Amino acid sequence: MKRISIHVRGKVQGVFYRASTVTKAQQLGVNGFVRNEPDGSVYMEAEGNEDKLNELIAWCRVGPPRARVDEVAVETHTTFRGFTDFRVSR
Protein backbone atom coordinates (compact mmCIF):
# COMPACT_ATOMS: atom_id res chain seq x y z
CA MET A 1 0.00 0.00 0.00
CA LYS A 2 1.08 3.49 -0.83
CA ARG A 3 -0.36 7.04 -0.65
CA ILE A 4 0.31 9.71 -3.25
CA SER A 5 -0.89 13.18 -4.09
CA ILE A 6 -1.21 14.32 -7.69
CA HIS A 7 -1.47 17.93 -8.85
CA VAL A 8 -2.61 18.32 -12.47
CA ARG A 9 -2.30 21.59 -14.39
CA GLY A 10 -3.65 22.53 -17.82
CA LYS A 11 -7.20 22.69 -19.14
CA VAL A 12 -8.53 20.37 -16.46
CA GLN A 13 -11.59 22.17 -15.11
CA GLY A 14 -14.91 22.15 -16.96
CA VAL A 15 -13.92 19.06 -18.97
CA PHE A 16 -15.21 16.30 -16.63
CA TYR A 17 -11.71 15.67 -15.27
CA ARG A 18 -12.89 15.03 -11.69
CA ALA A 19 -15.78 12.75 -12.67
CA SER A 20 -13.55 10.81 -15.06
CA THR A 21 -10.89 10.48 -12.36
CA VAL A 22 -13.46 9.01 -9.96
CA THR A 23 -14.50 6.45 -12.58
CA LYS A 24 -10.88 5.49 -13.34
CA ALA A 25 -9.90 5.26 -9.66
CA GLN A 26 -12.92 3.09 -8.89
CA GLN A 27 -12.06 0.79 -11.82
CA LEU A 28 -8.53 0.46 -10.41
CA GLY A 29 -9.70 -0.10 -6.82
CA VAL A 30 -7.90 3.02 -5.57
CA ASN A 31 -9.31 5.10 -2.69
CA GLY A 32 -9.03 8.84 -2.07
CA PHE A 33 -10.44 12.10 -3.41
CA VAL A 34 -10.14 14.62 -6.24
CA ARG A 35 -10.97 18.33 -6.15
CA ASN A 36 -10.72 21.51 -8.20
CA GLU A 37 -8.28 24.12 -6.95
CA PRO A 38 -8.86 27.90 -7.12
CA ASP A 39 -5.93 28.31 -9.56
CA GLY A 40 -7.67 26.12 -12.19
CA SER A 41 -5.72 22.96 -11.42
CA VAL A 42 -6.95 19.63 -10.05
CA TYR A 43 -5.58 18.04 -6.86
CA MET A 44 -6.06 14.48 -5.68
CA GLU A 45 -4.84 12.07 -3.05
CA ALA A 46 -4.97 8.34 -3.59
CA GLU A 47 -4.11 5.21 -1.64
CA GLY A 48 -3.73 1.72 -3.01
CA ASN A 49 -1.51 -0.86 -4.64
CA GLU A 50 1.60 0.72 -6.20
CA ASP A 51 0.88 -0.76 -9.65
CA LYS A 52 -2.68 0.60 -9.61
CA LEU A 53 -1.46 4.03 -8.47
CA ASN A 54 1.04 4.05 -11.34
CA GLU A 55 -1.85 3.31 -13.72
CA LEU A 56 -3.78 6.24 -12.23
CA ILE A 57 -0.76 8.54 -12.69
CA ALA A 58 -0.44 7.44 -16.32
CA TRP A 59 -4.14 8.13 -16.87
CA CYS A 60 -3.81 11.58 -15.24
CA ARG A 61 -1.14 12.53 -17.79
CA VAL A 62 -3.82 12.22 -20.51
CA GLY A 63 -7.15 12.73 -18.72
CA PRO A 64 -10.56 12.70 -20.36
CA PRO A 65 -10.99 13.58 -24.06
CA ARG A 66 -11.61 17.34 -23.63
CA ALA A 67 -8.73 17.90 -21.18
CA ARG A 68 -5.32 19.30 -22.02
CA VAL A 69 -2.78 18.23 -19.41
CA ASP A 70 0.30 20.45 -19.21
CA GLU A 71 1.86 19.18 -15.99
CA VAL A 72 1.42 16.32 -13.50
CA ALA A 73 3.29 16.57 -10.20
CA VAL A 74 3.31 13.47 -8.00
CA GLU A 75 4.35 13.28 -4.36
CA THR A 76 4.66 10.08 -2.29
CA HIS A 77 3.64 10.18 1.36
CA THR A 78 4.78 8.00 4.25
CA THR A 79 1.50 8.14 6.18
CA PHE A 80 -1.92 6.76 5.26
CA ARG A 81 -5.29 8.46 5.65
CA GLY A 82 -7.44 5.34 5.44
CA PHE A 83 -9.73 6.39 2.59
CA THR A 84 -12.60 3.93 2.09
CA ASP A 85 -13.69 5.01 -1.42
CA PHE A 86 -12.80 7.52 -4.14
CA ARG A 87 -14.93 10.63 -4.50
CA VAL A 88 -15.07 14.26 -5.55
CA SER A 89 -14.24 16.57 -2.66
CA ARG A 90 -15.62 20.09 -2.67
Can you give the CATH number for the domain in which 8 is found?
3.30.70.100
pLDDT value of position 59: 98
Range of the domain at 17: 2-79
- Binned average pLDDT, 10 residues per bin, the chain of 90 residues: 97 97 98 98 98 98 97 97 96
The answer to whether position 60 is within a domain reads: yes
User: Could you give the number of structural domains in the chain?
Assistant: 1
Burial degree of 48 (CB within 10 A; 0-12, 13-18, 19+) = buried
Task: Reduce the DSSP state of residue 27 to 3 states and report it.
Answer: helix
Question: Which residues are catalytic, by number?
Answer: 18, 36
Type and span of the H or E element at 43 = strand 42-48
Bridge partners, 8 (sequence order): 42, 72
Note whether residue 34 is domain-resident.
yes
Q: What is the pTM of this model?
A: 0.96
Which amino acid, one-letter code, is at 44? Answer: M
